[in-house]
A and B are shown apart, each in its own frame.
Chain A
Amino acid sequence: MIAAGHPDVKTARRPREGGRRFPLHWIGALPFLLYVALFLLLPTVIVVVGAFAGKDGPTLSNITDLNQQFVLNAFVSSLLISTASALVGAVAGALLAYAVATGNPRGVLRRVVSSACGVLAQFGGVTLAFAFIATIGSVGFIRLWLQDRGIDIYSNGVWLTELPGLVLVYTYFQIPLMVLVFLPALDGIRPQWREATESLGGGTWHYWRYVAGPLLAPAFLGATLLLFANAFSAYATAAALISQGNPIVPIAISNFLTSETGRNNPGLAQALALGMVLIVAIVMTLYALLQRRTSRWLR
């Protein structure tokens, strides 16, 4: 592309300066690329290098250390929470998005839901955890109110600070995120497709089975993967909510980096981080593939 005056390159015409030209259109993207390099690539490199670094040169011991029961438990917990909250969020979010998409395009429902989702999808961390603790925590006012009426939501222990609680809390930002990423796909579905199906003799079942279903499936799966990655990498909410015992991976990493009880192990922390990077990388690759498929159809 740098070859001056290549006939196929259809950029805006610039005055000829003679000789080689510096491709100016890159300059605009430079701050962004720097940003990405600094805060995405560099940390990844540090994690990868760190995972294989020992006190005396390169080592595999950090990786082999991953094979411990509590590490595996942390990964299983993380995967469980992410999967569960992604599935719940995807289904509930898709239904909500469908209600919005089939409603009046300038109606109240759409305006309210889309702006609310824009905010709520970013809602997380200590604020979100506190919101749940204050309402349905062990001394939360809804919990107490229910208790006064003989309903004890914690008769089998305070599950809010356990994995099920985390799933519930994550759902709070997963559903809005699903609405945000799935709504464009639903909006891309044209009413003519349904009418064409009907005029060709198909009913509602045929429409979903042969037309809308196949058209939306990649977007739905892709969005579910995104939700999975979103939950998988969430840290602050979990850290604020979960006390001790079976932590999820991000909390385990944090423990190894900042432990005050002598269990500091930055090498193992980086090995854990590497595991997360790999899982997220796989998920995001699948997401990109699915996304490419739908964007071809729904233009």
Chain B
Amino acid sequence: MTSAVAAAGLGTATRAGVEVRLENLRRRYAGVTALDGLSLTMAPGELVALLGPSGCGKTTALRLVAGLEQADSGRVVVGGEDVTGQPTNKRDVGMVFQAYSLFPHMTAWQNVAFGLQMRKVGASQRRQRAGEMLELVGLGGFANRFAHQLSGGQQQRVALARALAIQPKVLLLDEPLSALDAKVRARLRDEIRRVQLEVGITTLFVTHDQEEALAIADRVGVMQSGRLEQLGPPTTIYSRPATPFVAEFVGLTNRLAGVVRGGDVEVRGTRLPLVQPDAADGPAVALVRPEAVTFANNEDTGPGPLVGTVIATAFLGATSRVTVDLGDVTILAQLPTSEASAHPAGTRVRLALRPDPVLIARDEAAAGRA
């Protein structure tokens, strides 16, 4: 690295991430509330994934941070500086779009160098820096390709390199993997995470794919109707969902009828502790994770509330997901594959529910089905 490059502040050396704060952001479009008071503080260098169903306001949140939309109220603070009123080109944000955002008449390196050109970096430094960035995303040999000569995954890598080349304060990615097929998606997801950690940049990653969010993020923010339902590390989001909506949106959930009594819920003859122990007594729907459903040690398959017939088994690798018909309801169990394969379709089995704390929903609307 030449001293000139260092002087221009463009070395590969990481620039420490900055804190990014979204404060009570509101945005309405003709009749639609896209954001309804969203607040989120991202620690320096943190990767937060915004997860939520279509139309919940994820893209709007990201575009407000980028300055591509203006908030009706609320503030965006980047590294202590209020950028709410600033135009996009003054904000120092790197963006990766869903797809097709590379300039088609420029080669990969010209794309990556474009932001440096806007910053009036000299031609030779641009070229060198673009080369380094392409190396960083594993495309060192593709510098002279045009977008139409690259695969979808490669195009997104170039887009990532282009966004990072200007050493932005924030990296914003809006469903950058959704146009790719599953295998490329998983690989590029890990790649994005690797690069993000290497550069140490504060990153907001928008997705509607819960697996993606849980795999890549330091913290996941689950959104619904323009608000954050829950913000926390992936493990917490998954195992301790704060609301029925989160429980149902993140991971698969069995909905089993039960009765709340004295801080517990009784489900099919089994008493399970509650996440919300102050819940009022009465009938409720318990949200039980497939991982909490096991085969009972008791091999007796005589009639009982948890006795049924295996109707399908989905092999997932080390674990398998078994669908059991209990007569009035089918239930999903996620089990070690060795156990699952001992009980092929047609076998009668007795299940047990592990006493993990469960969430309850009072009705369909409360469960976020509205």
Contact = CB atoms under 8 A, between A and B. Distances in A.
Nearest to B67: A198
Contact of A199 (B95, B100, B105, B148): B95
A196 interface: yes
A206 B120 CA distance: 12
B269 interface: no
A199 B114 CA distance: 11
A217 to B, nearest CB: 10
B166 A195 contact: no
Contact of A200 (B87, B100, B114): B114
A43 interface: no
B348 interface: no
A297 interface: yes
A140 B95 CA distance: 59
B68 A198 contact: yes
B143 to A, nearest CB: 18
A200 B118 contact: yes
A199 B104 contact: no
Interface residues of A, number: 21
A214 B105 contact: yes
Interface string A183-216: 0000000101101111111110010001100110
Nearest to B99: A192
B105 A200 contact: no
Contact of A210 (B67, B104, B114, B162): B114
Nearest to B168: A199
Contacts of B118: 197, 200-202, 206
Nearest to B117: A210
Contacts of A197: 89, 114, 118
B71 interface: no
Given A200-B114, A201-B89, A201-B119, A215 B101 contact: no
A263 interface: no
Contacts of B89: 197-203
A195 B98 CA distance: 12
Interface in A257-299: 296-299
A215 B93 CA distance: 25
Nearest to B104: A297
Interface in A207-253: 210-211, 214-215
A196 B93 contact: no
B285 interface: no
A193 B100 CA distance: 9
A195 B100 CA distance: 12
Of the candidates B89, B100, B163, the one having the most CB atoms from chain A within 10 angstroms of its own CB is: B89
B221 interface: no
Nearest to B66: A199
Nearest to A193: B103
Nearest to B163: A199
B105 A195 contact: no
A118 B87 CA distance: 40
B115 interface: yes
B100 to A, nearest CB: 6
B125 interface: no
Of the candidates A196, A200, A201, A202, the one having the most CB atoms from chain B within 10 angstroms of its own CB is: A200
Contacts of A199: 66, 68, 88-89, 91, 93-95, 163, 168, 172
B112 to A, nearest CB: 10
A267 B166 CA distance: 68
Interface in B75-107: 87-89, 91-95, 97, 100-101, 103-105
A192 B101 contact: yes
B104 A200 contact: no
A87 to B, nearest CB: 24
A196 B95 contact: yes
Contacts of B67: 198
Contacts of B87: 198
Contact of B103 (A211, A296, A299): A211
A285 B2 CA distance: 48
A195 B88 contact: yes
Given A196-B101, A199-B89, 8 more contacts: A192-B97, A193-B101, A195-B95, A198-B67, A200-B162, A201-B115, A215-B103, A297-B105
- Sorted nearest first, the 4 A-B pairs with minimum C-beta distance are A200-B115, A201-B118, A192-B101, A198-B88
